């Protein structure tokens, strides 16, 4: 499957990424697209996930809601070229990419090249923490994403605070020297809004307010990254062997600490 995204010079590309399934990529992608659209921005969502969750959400979106352009990247058709299928209309200024699960490490660079922001949702479980550590290593070693550019942001997703699993997750994430840009609770509000084809930002009810406010730090981080111009390093990333090797070792060591007894 081709993962590169044709675009234009004014396009702001946000990649929601985690090769492990079930971590909430589509929830993050649709709520982000809904937020951007509801603020009057021309937005497209590109769905690479074969399950097509983002496209199903888009199909049930009310006709009077802010428009979002949908691109079914998972639907490979022989009747059109791949470039045409993935074409982003010139009017679109923000592209949210809902990446597929099980992306091979060698394809990560193709998916993340030219991204203004890469958002990685991580769940509070040992399996997910381990998967996140491997992803970080692949992004640094193979895709050669530059940590110095600060394009990677981690979202702790579906958390239940005041639990051992939550404390372990936050300890691991904070140890990576990669921004933890938001903490989203395990809330049924995301289910209720998805059933209506809306984001929680578009559900103006009192019960949605607390969950919507948890997006404030994510939005602030995104606004900064989206306004930071891309550099050649965001497209072609030279390898700094010593720095990357040391950071990859650090990621592995910190991931191993997830099994240590929690003493908090």
Q: What is the pLDDT of residues 181-227, one digit of tens each?
A: 999 998 999 999 999 999 999 998 888 999 999 999 999 999 999 99
Q: Give the pLDDT of residue 121.
A: 92
Q: Are 89 and 69 in contact (CB under 8 A)?
A: yes
- Percent of residues, the chain, with pLDDT higher than 70: 85
Maximum mean pLDDT: which of 144-153, 155-164, 190-199: 190-199
Q: What is the pLDDT of residues 128-138, one digit of tens each?
A: 888 888 888 88
Domain 12-259 in CATH 3.40.50.620? The answer is: no
Mean of all residue pLDDT scores within the chain: 83
E strand spans, the chain:
12-16, 43-47, 69-72, 94-98, 117-122, 152-159, 179-185
Structure tokens that stand for 226 in this block? 């989206």
Q: How far apart are CA 197 and CA 57, in angstroms?
A: 5
Angle at 23 between CA 161 and CA 111, to 5 degrees: 130
**Entry pTM:** 0.83
Q: Are 220 and 182 in contact (CB under 8 A)?
A: no
């Amino acid at each position: 499957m081709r993962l590169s995204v044709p675009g234009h010079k004014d396009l702001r590309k946000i990649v929601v990424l985690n090769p492990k399934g079930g971590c909430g990529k589509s929830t993050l992608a649709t709520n982000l697209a809904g937020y951007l659209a509801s603020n009057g921005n021309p937005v497209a969502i590109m769905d690479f996930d074969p399950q097509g969750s983002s496209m199903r959400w888009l199909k049930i979106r009310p006709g009077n809601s802010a428009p979002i352009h949908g691109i079914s990247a998972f639907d490979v058709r022989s009747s059109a070229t791949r470039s045409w299928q993935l074409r982003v209309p010139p009017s679109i200024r923000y592209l949210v990419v809902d990446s597929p699960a099980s992306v091979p490490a060698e394809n990560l660079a193709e998916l993340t090249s030219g991204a203004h922001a890469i958002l990685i949702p991580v769940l509070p479980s040992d399996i997910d923490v381990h998967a996140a550590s491997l992803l970080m290593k692949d992004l640094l070693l193979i895709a050669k994403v530059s940590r110095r550019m600060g394009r990677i942001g981690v979202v702790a997703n579906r958390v239940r605070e005041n639990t051992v699993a939550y404390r372990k997750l936050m300890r691991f994430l904070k140890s990576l020297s990669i921004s933890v840009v938001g903490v989203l609770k395990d809330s049924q509000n995301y289910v209720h809004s998805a059933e209506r084809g809306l984001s929680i930002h578009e559900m103006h009810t009192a019960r949605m307010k607390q969950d919507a406010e948890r997006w404030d730090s994510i939005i602030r981080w995104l606004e900064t990254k989206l306004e930071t111009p891309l550099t050649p390093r965001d497209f072609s990333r030279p390898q700094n062997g010593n720095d990357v090797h040391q950071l990859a070792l650090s990621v592995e060591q910190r991931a191993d600490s997830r099994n240590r007894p929690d003493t908090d």
